[in-house]
Amino acid sequence: MRTHRLKVTVPESHELRLRLPSDFPTGEAEVIVFEASHPASPRPQWRLTVDELLAARLQRPPGVAPVSLEDIERAIAAGGVGRGDV
């Protein structure tokens, strides 16, 4: 679907005449007019890092205890050998 955006001023007659680029496809089209003085409420801009997004969505499986940062660092330093090393 191709779009073309125009800024117009609505006259007292409330009539608009539009001229589209010559390469715009002919045939049926849909025209939507937004009132510029009252824009729609902007969506909140969530600024999450990838880590924050993943942390918010991840859940531990049932029966798995939390692991502290110290436990993780110790496992990395030890090379994470074996499952019972943490």
pLDDT one-digit tens code per residue, 14-73? 999 988 889 888 999 998 888 876 656 666 677 878 888 887 777 778 888 888 888 888
4 Cβ neighbours under 8 A, 6+ residues apart: 20, 21, 24
Q: How far is CA 31 from CA 17, 18, 43, 56, in A?
A: 12, 10, 23, 40
Task: Give the global pTM.
Answer: 0.37
